[in-house]
Chains A and B, each alone.
Chain A
Amino acid sequence: MLRVKDLKFHYQGGQQVLKEINFKLEDGKFLSVLGNNGAGKSTMLKCFNRIIDPEAGSISLDGEEICRMPMREAAKRMAFVAQTIPNTQMTVHDMVMLGRKPYMQWGFTENDHRIVHEAMERLGLTEMRGRFLNELSGGERQKVMLARALAQKPKLLLLDEPTSSLDLKNQYQVLQTVRDICHETGIAAIMVIHDLNLALRFCDRFLLMRDGAVFRYGDAHVIDREAIWQIYGVQGETADVRGQKIVMVD
């Protein structure tokens, strides 16, 4: 269970980016964070992950306070897939191995190798594990980064716009994998995404952000005409297609 209480943050010399964020997320749930550009979504993820330190508030995961934890300990509990995907001459296997870095003493153990192998298997990367990252397509690299995050064995998975550079098929594959992992293993995932329909299709919870504050939080019913107008400033409506809620923008 993730509890976020009164989380506040501002960059040096900038205005308040996060204003009193409050919410709870149960284990095994897939949360999408929605909001316009500059709403503070990426900043919030970075606070969770100790990349930046919040100025006030608390973030607790299963009762443990994240902000008072050494970074390495936090890295064993949360994994982060950043918005920009690295493009370097390193093999897929070595990049996924990086996920075991927080656990590493002098070298990697058999257990580390087993976990890495499982993570690659899960995302269908085993066949290409000897290839260099800079020889892969954007979708394949994104899967590598997701496998790396899974190899970290986190309780909470953080994803910043993981589908923004993928084609339709890869978008569905990546999101389906994350959802299945959440439901099967009970880890929670928080994802920033701009596509409302993809979010509605795969996520269990929705956090709507506006100007660094939570506008609404809850399950699919929080997304309606009013919310779309307030968050994105566009007219839109929701509809039901074969039991699946969808959003249409006028």
Chain B
Amino acid sequence: MNSDRLPLENNGCGGEYHKNKVKSIWILVLLGLVLAAAVLLSLWAGSYDTPVTELLRGIVNQANDPKINVVVQNVRLPRICTAVIAGAGLGVVGCVLQSILDNPLASASTLGVSQGASFGAAFAIIGLNAGAQNGGGLWISLAAFAGSMGVAAVILGLSRFSQITPESIVLAGVAISSMFTGATTLLQYFADEVELTTLTFWTFGNLGSAGWGQIRFMLLVVLLSSVYSIFHRWDFNALLAGTETAASLGIHVRRMILINMVLCCLTASAIVSHVGLINFIGLVAPHIVRRLVGNNHVYLIPGTILAGASLLLLGDLLARTVVSPVILPTGAVTSFLGAPLFLYLLFKRRKGVC
């Protein structure tokens, strides 16, 4: 990217800045390597006596053992792709929500956006019987989107346009989440056996059931929101300087917040309706990356995409291997690991550190 290159004359003094930039780029490269390693590890886990090269050949259906081909193509690869795409998407959503709401505790799951989506999806399955119909998937996704938008409207109403602290917004999110979780539980009373299994699997979050069609759909949505936010990286930077300064730099702040909120809901609901509730990835990934590269969205957004994907992949790896051969629900594992981090962030904010 030539855009961030420095004129030669500048390299003499203020080399500190140059060092900082190089460091940020190296951290992005490192995060990319971590992701690659996590992908390899996920591919390998569970078939430790097979050479990795054989597994890699399985990706293009060229393994010597046809059984490997089947395992890689039908089980491992879809799961890995789902984790990478969903993790990246949740990361981007968390990063964007934290910026536009000016709230370091924001993410799809802490604000209740995911829970709204999950309720919408459950409603479509039980209320509209969408699970059994042809093309029901579309209805489920639409209902999930509507649910998340409902929550987003409440959050927006509470945050930018009135004077409420970040902690209160998260409290409101907790209230909204438990309301929707409760509503989803109530819905289960009206569900039959089949619907019930679909629902329970969802409330936990599971990466093992998305088919290639669904993966492609998620990829499309996550790509859309990632490219959009990377393209507008300097708009987010401007917002860091305050809404008034952002407006004075030519940014329509309200319009920007609304567009991004809709994109976040779209992405979160697309992910929730295919893999269920996965908590804390979107909250934690931006924080880890911010620690490493600071608040400049030029590095923060790509970093969060990579970190989110790696985190979910590693969480899933744990879920698959910790009590192997039993596969734990991935969402439960990420909650278990993410919640302490969330508490840590809350505690640190109290002391005014972040």
CB distance from A198 to the nearest CB of B (A): 23
CB distance from A118 to the nearest CB of B (A): 11
Contact of B237 among A82, A98, A102 (CB under 8 A): A98
Contact of B290 among A89, A104, A117 (CB under 8 A): A89
CB contact list, B266-291 vs A, under 8 A: 290
Compute how far the CA of A250 lies from the CA of B247 in the bound complex, rounded to whole angstroms: 42
**Contact B244–A46 (Cβ < 8 Å):** yes
* Nearest CB in chain B to that of A71: its residue: B250
**Contact A93–B17 (Cβ < 8 Å):** yes
Q: How large is the interface on A (under 10, 10 to 19, 20 to 34, 35 or more residues)?
A: 35 or more
**Contact B19–A50 (Cβ < 8 Å):** no
CB distance from A242 to the nearest CB of B (A): 38
**Contact B244–A71 (Cβ < 8 Å):** no
Compute how far the CA of A108 lies from the CA of B2 in the bound complex, rounded to whole angstroms: 8
Q: Does B10 make an interface contact (CB < 8 A)? A: yes
Q: Does A136 make an interface contact (CB < 8 A)? A: no
One of A72-80, A170-178, A187-195, A223-231 at the interface: A72-80
**Contact A91–B242 (Cβ < 8 Å):** no
One of A21-29, A54-62, A126-134, A205-213 at the interface: A126-134
Compute how far the CA of A246 lies from the CA of B250 in the bound complex, rounded to whole angstroms: 39
Measured between beta carbons, the chain B residues less than 8 angstroms from A104 are 234
Measured between beta carbons, the chain B residues less than 8 angstroms from A95 are 241
* Best-surrounded residue of A76, A94, A108, A158 (most CB of chain B within 10 A): A94
CB distance from A133 to the nearest CB of B (A): 9
Compute how far the CA of A106 lies from the CA of B125 in the bound complex, rounded to whole angstroms: 43
A-B pair count, CB < 8 Å, reads 115
CB contact list, A115-166 vs B, under 8 A: 117, 126-132, 145, 148, 152, 158
Q: Does B7 make an interface contact (CB < 8 A)? A: yes
Q: Does A114 make an interface contact (CB < 8 A)? A: yes
**Contact A82–B249 (Cβ < 8 Å):** no
**Contact A51–B10 (Cβ < 8 Å):** no
Q: Does A3 make an interface contact (CB < 8 A)? A: no
**Contact A88–B250 (Cβ < 8 Å):** no
**Contact B250–A72 (Cβ < 8 Å):** yes
Which residues of A pack against B, CB within 8 Å? 46, 49-51, 70-76, 78-80, 82, 84, 86, 88-95, 98-99, 101-102, 104, 106-110, 113-114, 117, 126-132, 145, 148, 152, 158
7 contacts between A and B (CB under 8 A): A90-B294, A101-B238, A104-B234, A106-B3, A113-B6, A128-B16, A130-B19
Which 3 A-B pairs have CB atoms at the shortest separation, nearest pair first?
Answer: A107-B3, A130-B16, A75-B250
